[in-house]
Amino acid sequence: MSIPAPIATGTFLYLILGCALLGLVFASRLTGRLSKDNAEIANVVVIISTVSTWLFWLCAWMHQWHPLIKPIYEE
């Protein structure tokens, strides 16, 4: 059984988004806009928020793909 293409694509996009945001935090640390402590906190916030939004998106997508309750259409 293989992973459906939309799940793989969405996961890849969230991975890119998380890496880009971590890159921004790293760049802010290098330029001196963030102290070491604030950069560590920002790294944790970026990772947790990226994983949380990915998980929420995955649950919403899976719910629409295979709904638990199938509607009964009456004529």
What does the pLDDT look like over 9-29, one tens digit per residue? Answer: 999 999 999 999 999 999 999
Q: Would you put residue 74 in left (φ > 0), alpha (ψ -120 to 50) or beta?
A: beta
Entry pTM: 0.81
Cβ–Cβ under 8 Å, residues 47 and 20: no
Confidence of residue 68 (pLDDT cuts 50, 70, 90): low
SS (H, E, C) the chain: CCCCHHHHHHHHHHHHHHHHHHHHHHHHHHHCCCCHHHHHHHHHHHHHHHHHHHHHHHHHHHHHHCCCCCCCCCC
